Structure 1
Amino acid sequence: MRSIKNWAFATFILCFLVIIAGGVVRTTQSGMGCPDWPKCFGRWIPPTNASELPPDFEKYLHKQDIDHSFNALHTWIEYFNRLLGTLLGVFGIIQVLLLFKKREELRKAYRLAWAFLLTVILTGLFGAIVVKLNLAHLSISVHLLFAIALVQLQLALLLSLRSKLAAVTIDRRTRNLIFIFLLLLFCQSALGTMVRMYVDDVSKILHYEQRETWLADSPVAFLIHRSFSWLVLLTAIFLAWHCRNMAAIKKNVFILTSIIVMSMIVGIVLVYANMPAVAQPLHLLLASFAITQTFNLLLQIKPAA
């Protein structure tokens, strides 16, 4: 049983590594570093220099959105991202096999393991659509939603193995407050996605240079996203205060509030420090942490009768 729990936890961590890798791909403009799928420049192992490109390489380079030239760094960043996704699939398969022998005893965990594996497969297949559509805005956003869904499924599986699903009884008002906070996070994430779309368009026009000007015009989506962040923060603080005497969940609520504070700090750095590349995937990662921690609370509690 311990080996199953350890494997489930390792898979959970790997989910976040995949999200980080995706963020690095975006911030380095490496999304079309491998302009075909599932191969990369028609090869299973991508080239390391231009001399290794296939004879028909121009049909691949034409799909890129930067300078239509071969960039080994971009290629291998995207390829590493794909390798992590493949590794996650392998972890998902092994997870199902580990739970197979205990499928009667751990029915819920076994079903969640299958749901996780199927979602990994769908995520990978949708990755092909993202490449086919040349990183269309909507396809990128949907791909990220798949990644977030994977994290939540694995979290539910992990809690199930640890007998923590619906293990804490709490009043309905508090549960409703946490649920409302989750809705606020989704709204904020949607606004953040709109800002990312705007930044992607502007940065592409500027050939991914002059980072200090990417938000110079202060688009409406950014202004709303910035203002809405204060509502999210104040709600998190109120939730922490409301749960201060609830021993069963106050620690998790405090962690959630801390994540929100860190996310705001990184957001401020993004705006006032000329969009440093390292801050972009970090901001995405913290947003993923916030959603996951809120789901963690909701999955562990059940309303009092």
Structure 2
Amino acid sequence: MAKHSKEVQTLQHLVLFSLLLAIVVIGLGAYTRLTHAGLGCPDWPTCYGLIDVPQTSEQIATAKQAFPQSPVEPSKAWNEMIHRYFAGSLGLLIAAIVLFSIKLRFSKNTKINYPILLPLFILLVVVFQAALGMWTVTLKLMPIVVMAHLLGGFTTLCLLFLLYLRIKAKGVHAKGANLVDSQLKKYRRYALLGISILTVQIALGGWTSSNYAAMSCVELPICQGDWLANLTFEQSFDLIPPSKESYEFGHLAHNERVTIHVSHRLGAIITSTFLAWLAIMVFIKARNYSIKTAAMTLLVLLIIQISLGVSNVWFSLPLKVAVAHNIVAACLMLSLIALTYKLKNNSKEAL
């Protein structure tokens, strides 16, 4: 039993570390995108055919000969490769989690059914995420691929967090421990709706970023000038764009970028209003301290995220603020998942 307990702790630590690493990867992905380093390496998974970045004069000369249309920019190339190193490390950790989960699930010493399908699904998501990373380079930052890559990173993070919550509950034999008052159960449905709304808003943020529309509106609360006359939805959300040699720095006209930006802002208003209402109502009605804390955490992160969004416009998209906007969005989603998890009856078997 002592050996089994140690294995459970190892699995918990692996998932927790992977969870933290996934947040770092999301931050590095945002940093790479915002420093225009998405094409810092014109090939994948190597960089100009190397496992690092061309540094010597001979390596740079060879890189220029092999990729004449992509001059070597070491700072951008390093940003891209560091992101790949961390993403690759996360993939290896998730593979280790799958192996540990299989070992625990079929161990003769355990009477608890530890999750197995969820780790396997996370591994499949990571494999597809790697393919999206490759297509991001080979398709020259096509907006739909860049947005999908962003959503894939968020999906990986959220699934790891869900796995952590389930393993933690199983580890302490917490079956049925999170039963909540019947009057709060209806708010679980609202929390699930909130996850859907926040997912759409994150996708809008990814579409805004991948189409370089973040600074298409430079005034608050909505946009400068006659912004209503600039709105055009005809091509602003076309998922398959016209063929281009590269989509770096965007391919849409100003009016289309304004439309995307305004849509993201309106989505932010809807999302913020709904999540604020949910957090406040749950906090007022809950008698459980843990649920109250989760609701308050959600509200605090929401306020921080709104402040960062406003700062992005007010201060013309500072790099640190823009990266923080991505990371806090991830934390906001995790806090909403945590609240949803606490609001549900925890008596079902893990997948």
Indicate how the Cα distance of structure 1 residues 198 and 107 shifts in structure 2: closer, same or farther if over 3 A, else same.
same
Distance 1:16 1:9 in 2: 11
The equivalent of 2:21 in structure 1 is: 14
Offset at 1:149? 1.3
TM score, norm. by length of structure 2: 0.75
In 2, the alpha carbon distance for the partners of 1:121 and 1:92 equals 10
With over 3 angstroms needed to count, the CA separation of the structure-2 counterparts of 1:165 and 1:221, relative to structure 1, is farther
| Aligned residues of 2:129 and 2:152 also touching (Cα < 8 A) | yes
8 Å contact from structure 1 (residues 34, 41) kept in 2: yes
Q: Is the 8 A contact 1:25 1:78 kept in 2?
A: yes
Quick check: 1:159–1:165 contact (8 Å CA) kept in 2? no
Cα offset, 1:117, TM superposition: 2.2
2:187 maps to 1:174: yes
Does residue 2 (structure 1) correspond to residue 16 (structure 2)? The answer is no
Alignment partner of 2:165 out of 159, 165, 169:
159
Residue 300 (structure 2) pairs with residue 298 (structure 1): no
1:29–1:166 Cα change, 3 Å: farther
1:264 aligns with 2:316: no
Amino acid at match of 2:105: R
CA distance in 1, matches of 2:212, 2:139: 19
Task: Give the residue type in structure 1 aligned to 2:126.
Answer: V
Q: Which residue of 2 aligns with 1:72?
A: 74
1:212 equivalent in structure 2: none
The answer on whether the counterparts of 2:64 and 2:71 sit within 8 Å (CA) in structure 1 is no
1:130 equivalent in structure 2: 136
Distance 1:41 1:161, change over 3 A: same
Amino acid at match of 1:162: K
Deviation sequence 1:178-202 (CA, Å, 0-9, x none): 1222222123223323322342698
Residue type at the aligned position of 2:336:
T
1:12 and 1:56 map into 2 onto residues whose CA distance is: 36
Superposed CA RMSD in Å reads 2.9
Alpha-carbon distance change, 201 to 223 in structure 1, aligned in 2, over 3 angstroms: closer
CA shift at 1:229, angstroms?
Answer: 2.1
Q: Is the 8 A contact 1:175 1:303 kept in 2?
A: no
- SS of the aligned residue for 2:71 comes to coil
Indicate if the aligned counterparts of 2:311 and 2:317 stay in contact, CA closer than 8 A: yes
Q: How does 1:215-226 map to 2 (within 5 A)?
A: 219-226=258-265
1:249 equivalent to 2:291? Answer yes
2:324 maps to which of 277, 282, 293: 282
CA distance 1:231–1:250, shift in 2 (3 Å)? same
CA 1:295/1:50 → structure 2, altered by over 3 Å: closer, same or farther? Answer: farther
Q: Which moved more, 1:242-251 or 1:145-154?
A: 242-251
Q: Cα–Cα, structure 1 residues 158 and 276, in superposed 2: closer, same or farther, change >3 Å?
A: same
Q: Which residue of 2 aligns with 1:185?
A: 198
The answer to whether the 8 A contact 2:215-2:317 is kept is no
> Structure 1 residue 117 and structure 2 residue 117: aligned?
no
Q: CA deviation at 1:161?
A: 1.1
1:217 CA drift (Å): 10
Question: Structure 2: which 5+ residue stretches go unaligned?
Answer: 1-7, 217-247
CA contact (8 A) 1:266 1:279 kept: yes
Residue 262 of structure 1 and its aligned partner are, at CA, apart by: 0.7
Deviation at 1:92, TM superposition (A): 1.3
> How far apart, CA to CA, are the structure 2 residues paired with 1:146 and 1:269?
26
Q: Structure 2 CA distance, aligned partners of 1:287 and 1:165? A: 30
Structure 1 residues 192 and 256 mapped into 2: Cα distance closer, same or farther (>3 Å)? same
Check 1:6–1:53 CA distance in 2 against 1; reply closer, same or farther (3 A cut).
same
Unaligned runs of 5+ in 1: 63-67, 209-214
**Equivalent pair of 1:35/1:60 in contact (CA under 8 Å):** yes
Query: How far apart in 2 are the matches of 1:186 and 1:166?
Result: 28
Name the counterpart of 2:88.
86
Distance 1:56 1:5, change over 3 A: closer
- The answer as to 2:212 corresponding to 1:199 is yes
Q: Decide which moves more: 85-94 or 112-121.
A: 112-121
Could you say which residue in structure 1 is the equivalent of 2:315?
273
Q: Assess if the C-alpha contact under 8 Å between 1:36 and 1:60 holds in 2.
A: no
1:65 alignment counterpart: none
From the CA coordinates, give the structure whose radius of gyration is larger: 2
Task: For residue 168 of structure 1, give the secondary structure of its aligned residue in structure 2.
Answer: coil
Distance 1:167 1:137, change over 3 A: farther
**Structure 1 contact 116–154 (Cα < 8 Å) conserved:** yes
Task: Judge conservation of contact 1:18–1:84 (CA < 8 Å) in 2.
Answer: yes
- Give the Å deviation of 1:15: 0.7
Q: Percent identity?
A: 21
Structure 1, 94-103 or 147-156: larger mean CA deviation: 94-103
Residue-by-residue CA offset, 1:260-283 (whole Å, 9 max, x unaligned): 111111111110101111122211
C-alpha contact 2:94 2:123 (8 A) present in aligned 1: yes
